[in-house]
Chains A and B, each alone.
Chain A
Amino acid sequence: MSETAIYREAIRSALIEAIEKDERVFLVGEDVGRYGGSYAVSKGLLKRFGAERIIDAPLSESAFTGAGIGAAINGMRPIVEIMTVNFSLLALDQIMNNAASLFHMSGGQFNVPLVIRMATGGGKQLGAQHSHSLEGWYAHIPGLKILTPATVQDAYDMIALALRDPNPVLIFENALLYNMKGELDRELKAVEIGKALVHRQGKDISIITYGISLFKALEAAKLLSKEGIDADVIDLRSLRPLDDETIMNSVKKTHRVLIVDEGWKSGSISAEIMARINEQAFYELDAPMARVCSEEVPFPYANHLEQAAIPQSEKIVAAAQKVMEEL
């Protein structure tokens, strides 16, 4: 049965179900307990489950993330919460050198069934150390799975999907989505990891995106439709693995591509998607591919500057029009 829910509460509700269902699941991170989570996702959970399952950790990203990995290889199913993606860099050693590598390095003896959640993205005037979208960067690393829930449904579904996966799964929640309302059907069978979703069917241009940019792309598609441009809008959902099949099927239908990514351009996931289309569907293209990404600056504090740095619907419309003008 479908209901309207808030993104933050959908995650909380999925966490509650997971902790209730499986005694191996626990949540650890900075301020997840008494404070209720820096974005209030875990509000009330400490009272409900106690300090053994909801563990407040000191500001030691590397140690508590590594502790999550250690607990995972010793039979538990930890969920590590890191406040924001910028802080996760303090745990990068553990994520890259241990979580992503242990299974291979040990010749298949120690897989790491770990979930790491963190907030990502800009737009709240938090400056250059709280605002970036580094999920594409993490997608570079073999051994990790990278999820980017855009919808309330995915915010809910991806917790259980990630916990069922025997590998380290990183979930990037765009902080501006926490207050968003959307449809949630708890009975619905979750769309598996690695499958993209086409949110709008169109025949003229493929707009490929993920996370919060999905909504900007859908807004742009609405504006474009008034001009007779019919956009296919794809939510990748997972940046690793990427759903090549859905991407290529869309390219074969529209023959034109625009990628929207809140990450930077250089060496990015948008560049990777372009490369794959080039490798797998080059002759399907009727025009050069284009992308709208964040401007290559550390995000500034001033609102007008920050907004100018982030992909917006108007930029997406303009970029799509340009792709359509190509013969």
Chain B
Amino acid sequence: MNMLEIKDLTKDFGGLRAVDSLDLSIGTGEILGLIGPNGAGKSTVFNCVAGLFPPSSGEITFDGRRINGVKPWNLCKAGLARTFQIVKPFATKSVLFNVMVGAFAVTDNTDEARERAIEVLDFLHLKKRMDMRAGNLTIADRKRLEIARALATGPKLLLLDEVMAGLRPTEVDEVIAIIRELKGRGMTIFVIEHIMRAIMALSDRLVVIQFGRKICEGEPEAVACDENVIKAYLGEDYAAS
């Protein structure tokens, strides 16, 4: 069964069609990459799936259940977690506090939440920073904190919105290793990423969108050679004709 099914999804903002009749599905345990030029509508797709915006039309099914218009907090409890492209830490609170908020999605007990949060922080190599104020973290650590909080909610499907943007190459490798480890644990992952090296290495399948429409879908190698994709990224002149 597919973990996530998007059928004919359209999202309008006033006169602007950000996502245009998009079809997409992610199998259980799969890593799907979503790429496209700036402004292609990638984050809007995420926001629709995560319940932040209601879709204008179309249908989204998560884990066999229609989730159009379901609120973000209920989706999170159902096992769908996301990170934000522009990180949103609880900046005046400690790193541990940040992750504990996520852990409270699965437990009511403060001690349990703390244990769970520390486990997740350890997995993301953030344990040594757990007493620091989240606002004082470097950008790399903030991105990792976003992942940590999302993981603490115990998701089945994880949406990662550009968690590697702004990281150094070694840091990117670290995050790639973390995401692979998560896949190994059976988690389904939906990634938006601009760093091609990372998305090519990670994804089982890629979907490319431009102006809200899907222009290509397939294995990473095939997509990289696709004429439409090259046009979208580099312009008409670069397409081999």
A, B: real partners:
no
